[in-house]
Amino acid sequence: MRKFGMYAKFTSKPGDREALAAILLEAAAAAETVKECELYIVNLSESEPDVLWVTEVWSNAEAHAASLKDEATRATIQRAMPLIAGVEPIPLVPLGGKGLAFGAMDA
């Protein structure tokens, strides 16, 4: 199976970026225990004051989809929703690079 990646652009409501960042960082900490989540990085935009980017890599698309059904993940999403003005997901197929382990089945 090939890996699944995503860039997700989160636009917070004005003044809520720091609170949204805190929730996304909590999600990143929770992902530490999820074997299928290989990368979850929260980034601040330097040019857009209400924007955060999340960079994710999962062992496969099914693992990502399953994570969104997890009860704790759903609770985190519900806490974040009032702070979010918009989300733009950009799905990706990771090919390789520093920091990612690829096996014979990943290509």
Taking only the tens place, the pLDDT of each residue in 32-66 is 999 999 999 999 999 999 999 999 999 999 999 99
Rounded to two decimals, what is the model's pTM? 0.89
Give CA–CA dist 24/95, Å, rounded. 25
